[in-house]
Amino acid sequence: MSAPPIRKIVIVGGGTAGWMAAAALSKVLGAMPGLAITLIESEAIGTVGVGEATIPQIVHFNKLLGINEAEFMRETHATYKLGIEFVDWTRLGHSYVHPFGQYGIDMLGIEFHHFWLKGLALGDATALDAYSIGAMAGKAGRFYWPETGNPNSPLARLAYAFQFDAGRYARFLRRRAEEAGVTRVEGRVTQIEQHPETGFVTRVALENGTQVDGELFIDCSGFRSLLLGQTLGVPFLDWSKWLPCDRAVAISCTKRETGAEDQPLTRSTARKAGWQWRIPLQHRVGNGHVYASAFMSEDEATETLLAHLDGTPLASPNHIRFTGGHRTRVWEKNVVALGLAGGFLEPLESTAIHLVQSGIARLLAYFPSTAFTQVEIDRFNAETAQDYLDIRDFLVLHYKATARNDSEFWNYCRTLDPPDGLKAKLDMFRSSGRIVREHNELFTETSWLSVMACQGIVASDHHPAAALLPDDEVLRRLSHVRGVIASAVSQMPTQDQFLASIGGA
């Protein structure tokens, strides 16, 4: 006989993770009779207050919730994002875009970049950006929706994400979750009760005396990891050896006063002991400096940040400490952690909100009954650990693949011994220009190519099939692809024109 279904879900924490979970679970499971979802949050504690850049999967999350994009853009003061511009990562004075969407167009059944590599060998040194509609539109400040119905259109190779005000996004989701029946409880959780034999969490008690019982607890309490880390004692896997940045200082500022339009890009500029983000929203610019405390003091990091702002600061600097890594089991007993409570990898590729989203999808796929069978829990944990590992390797690539030798930090990064998975990818690309995408990992061939090729990893060969096409034909086709992309970009509206046209600004 099957065990009774879960009737009471308790979400502890109302940051981006908590409200994403509440909105999605109430949308998907809300129709189940007798299911109660409660979210507890403490305004006095507040949220981490950062987390504004996303990757294209967020578009699907919003669609799942039935969110109207124009309304969302308006209410969260969002902008579009076609990729990330990396400045000074390869060497000082160099920049490139890691775009969403694909480069060029596959030919003879093999990936476009092999023809680009052949072009390089023939002396055509055009940078990869010219073959990406996302990179070119981003740099030109233009935006349009992808044309999914027409595979021959360059717009079919475009993908986009959002940059939004995280506080507004949480409130936007909160309204939907409450309308779908989620109960919000305000207050600080001070006690957590566990079953004396199984150790399962049974109840949380708040400072004001309120008690909330549950069967499934979702820990969205941020870096505190109140249930998973503090109560159940699940250890943290520390990756700071490969990702030495462990601090951030963040601040919002006004937009440039010149009236210039922003590009639909997040910008990451490498600094002496880390990097600085710039995330342009409709009403302000989010900025932060991620740095390694072993190589730079808090004062110097703050000064560096403040010296590189577009406009006037809108608040005082927000200092955040973190360690790169994750809890070894993100689901333990009847507690599932989402967001910072489960782990954190620095925001270099804007992956944290995506990890919340994929955690929710995975929880729905392995949704437990009151039996909480271990086989599903183990599977959930193994898949989550793999996600973190794949993303870690991609982030480490950015630090490893650099020619910078102008500071102790960059010398450490350039000479570090890469994790095995990254090493195998680097070896393969160096040998033949091939990129191996393992087990449907989050970052595609485009992403790996972008960072490897643009940060100076040299492929000594290309796919033999590219050699079959005569040299002048390869050069002609490369030039044609560039021309098609440039022409398509010139016909796209600017981002501001586009936002105005959909009523999203």
Q: Would you name the residues annotated as active-site residues?
A: 81
Burial class (CB in 10 A: 0-12, 13-18, 19+), 484: middle
Check binding of 41 to ligand FAD (CB under 6 A).
Answer: yes
Exactly one of 6, 18, 177, 453 binds ligand FAD (CB under 6 A); which one? 18
**43 Cβ neighbours under 8 A, 6+ residues apart:** 186
Burial class (CB in 10 A: 0-12, 13-18, 19+), 259: exposed
Q: Which stretch binds ligand FAD (CB under 6 A): 7-15, 77-85, 267-275, 443-451?
A: 7-15
Contact assessment for residue 246 and residue 239, using Cβ atoms and an 8 Å cutoff? no
Check binding of 305 to ligand FAD (CB under 6 A).
Answer: no
Nearer to ligand FAD by C-beta: 370 or 444?
444
Distance (Å, rounded) from C-alpha 475 to C-alpha 456?
22
Check binding of 226 to ligand FAD (CB under 6 A).
Answer: yes
In the shown chain, the binding pattern of residues 245 to 264 toward ligand FAD, with x for contact by CB under 6 A and - for none, equals ---x-x--------------
4 dihedral zone (left: phi>0; alpha: psi -120 to 50; beta): beta
Q: Which stretch binds ligand FAD (CB under 6 A): 2-10, 47-55, 154-162, 304-312?
A: 47-55
Check binding of 320 to ligand FAD (CB under 6 A).
Answer: yes
Check binding of 83 to ligand FAD (CB under 6 A).
Answer: no
Burial class (CB in 10 A: 0-12, 13-18, 19+), 198: exposed
Q: Which stretch binds ligand FAD (CB under 6 A): 48-56, 148-156, 382-390, 428-436?
A: 48-56
Q: Which stretch binds ligand FAD (CB under 6 A): 49-57, 137-145, 229-237, 409-417?
A: 49-57
Neighbour tally for 257: CB within 10 Å: 9
Q: Which stretch binds ligand FAD (CB under 6 A): 8-16, 68-76, 117-125, 469-477?
A: 8-16
**121 Cβ neighbours under 8 A, 6+ residues apart:** 462
**407 Cβ neighbours under 8 A, 6+ residues apart:** 272, 273, 295
Sign of CA pseudo-dihedral 344, 346, 348, 353: positive
Check binding of 243 to ligand FAD (CB under 6 A).
Answer: no
Identify which of 306, 258, 308, 262 has the alpha carbon closest to the alpha carbon of residue 284. Answer: 262
343 dihedral zone (left: phi>0; alpha: psi -120 to 50; beta): left
Check binding of 188 to ligand FAD (CB under 6 A).
Answer: yes
How many residues touch ligand FAD under the rule CB under 6 A: the total is: 38
Check binding of 134 to ligand FAD (CB under 6 A).
Answer: no
- For the segment 87-116, give every residue that binds ligand FAD (CB under 6 A): none
Contact assessment for residue 448 and residue 82, using Cβ atoms and an 8 Å cutoff? no
Give Cα 483 to chain centroid, integer Å: 31
Nearer to ligand FAD by C-beta: 264 or 347?
347
Exactly one of 6, 9, 10, 13 binds ligand FAD (CB under 6 A); which one? 13
Q: Which stretch binds ligand FAD (CB under 6 A): 153-161, 221-229, 237-245, 442-450?
A: 221-229
Burial class (CB in 10 A: 0-12, 13-18, 19+), 127: middle
Exactly one of 50, 59, 192, 216 binds ligand FAD (CB under 6 A); which one? 50
Check binding of 224 to ligand FAD (CB under 6 A).
Answer: yes
Tokens linked to 302: 């703050």
Nearer to ligand FAD by C-beta: 83 or 222?
222
Please, what is the minimum distance in Å from the beta carbon of residue 250 to ligand FAD?
6
Nearer to ligand FAD by C-beta: 50 or 305?
50
Nearer to ligand FAD by C-beta: 76 or 128?
76
Nearer to ligand FAD by C-beta: 322 or 409?
322
Exactly one of 26, 221, 358, 450 binds ligand FAD (CB under 6 A); which one? 221
Check binding of 288 to ligand FAD (CB under 6 A).
Answer: yes
Distances (CA, A) of 13 to 6, 220, 297, 359: 20, 5, 31, 15
The helix (run of H) or strand (run of E) holding residue 163 is: strand 161-163
Identify which of 430, 370, 379 has the alpha carbon closest to the alpha carbon of residue 5. Answer: 370
Sign of CA pseudo-dihedral 399, 400, 405, 411: positive
**Half-sphere exposure of residue 159: CA atoms within 13 angstroms, side-chain side:** 18
Q: Which stretch binds ligand FAD (CB under 6 A): 150-158, 333-341, 424-432, 443-451?
A: 333-341
Nearer to ligand FAD by C-beta: 21 or 120?
21
Nearer to ligand FAD by C-beta: 221 or 455?
221
Check binding of 46 to ligand FAD (CB under 6 A).
Answer: yes
Contact assessment for residue 100 and residue 135, using Cβ atoms and an 8 Å cutoff? no
Please, what is the minimum distance in Å from the beta carbon of residue 139 to ligand FAD?
20
Nearer to ligand FAD by C-beta: 206 or 294?
206
Q: Which residues of 135-163 are buried (b: 16+ CB within 10 A; e: fewer)?
A: bbbbbbbbbbebeeeeeeebbbbbbbbbb
Please, what is the minimum distance in Å from the beta carbon of residue 51 to ligand FAD?
2
Contact assessment for residue 39 and residue 183, using Cβ atoms and an 8 Å cutoff? yes
Exactly one of 347, 359, 368, 433 binds ligand FAD (CB under 6 A); which one? 347
Contacts to ligand FAD by CB under 6 A: 13-18, 40-42, 45-48, 50-54, 166, 188-189, 220-222, 224, 226, 248, 250, 288, 320, 322, 339-341, 347, 350, 352-353
